[in-house]
Amino acid sequence: MQIIDLGLTNFSDAYELQKELVQKISQGLCEDALLITEHYPVITIGRKGSRDNIFQTRGIEVLNIDRGGDVTYHGPGQIVAYPIFKLENEARDIHGFLSHLEDVGCNFLESYGLSPQKRFGLRGIWVDNKKIGSIGIGVKKWTTYHGIAININTDLTPFSFIRPCGIEGAEVTSLRDVLCSEIDIKDARDKLIETFKQIPFLAEAVSKV
């Protein structure tokens, strides 16, 4: 698995790279990839999303994209991980893959001493009944793209502009807010990468290129 740390990117630029990698990886032309990035402010609407879940934008770019899920916000201080993985044989289980992405988020947060939870019927990661991580993927030719976003030092104000993930009354938090301390973002990126390597399902998936 190749690790590609893109730093701070426009969402559209990272998406174009994902599409290039999906094509190559699905054809077996290169190994699986894990893209790590932060995005400039953007509101994205997934395949099942609705602009009715956006109350205002205050100049933030809004994009319709081809991941699952509804509306979410990306911005600086939020780590986004895009696993471009070719799923083969028993790994061809989309719901299982989504569940294991939730495991990645939960295990990552546990490394900070937290007790994160999954919620039945609601994709994502929760801490103290507030959403801290969002998940939504796309799959082409059994190759995954899009992925998981976790709020680290994120300015949470733009989440008040939307109905996060289309969930009425959902509150959003960040690792900084939960721990009441600024987080070393480089250390957080490194921890998230290591967590991806420790999930058996994902480790198996990325070994089959």
Instruction: Provide the residue count of the chain.
Output: 209
Going by C-beta distance under 8 Å and a sequence separation of 6 or more, which residues neighbour residue 44?
A: 11, 62, 63, 64, 65, 67, 71, 72, 73, 74
What is the DSSP secondary structure assignment for residue 54, as one 8-state letter?
A: B
Q: What single-letter amino acid sits at 183? A: I
Q: Which residues pair with 130 in a beta bridge?
A: 127
Report how far residue 149's alpha carbon sits from residue 121's, in angstroms, rounded to the nearest whole number. 18
Nearest CA to 150 among 194, 100, 188, 206? 188
Report how far residue 6's alpha carbon sits from residue 120's, in angstroms, rounded to the nearest whole number. 33
Report how far residue 192's alpha carbon sits from residue 81's, in angstroms, rounded to the nearest whole number. 8
Instruction: Assess whether 165 carries a catalytic annotation.
Output: yes
As to burial, measured by CB atoms within 10 angstroms (0-12 exposed, 13-18 middle, 19+ buried), residue 35 is: buried
Report how far residue 24's alpha carbon sits from residue 32's, in angstroms, rounded to the nearest whole number. 9
Active-site residue numbers? Answer: 165
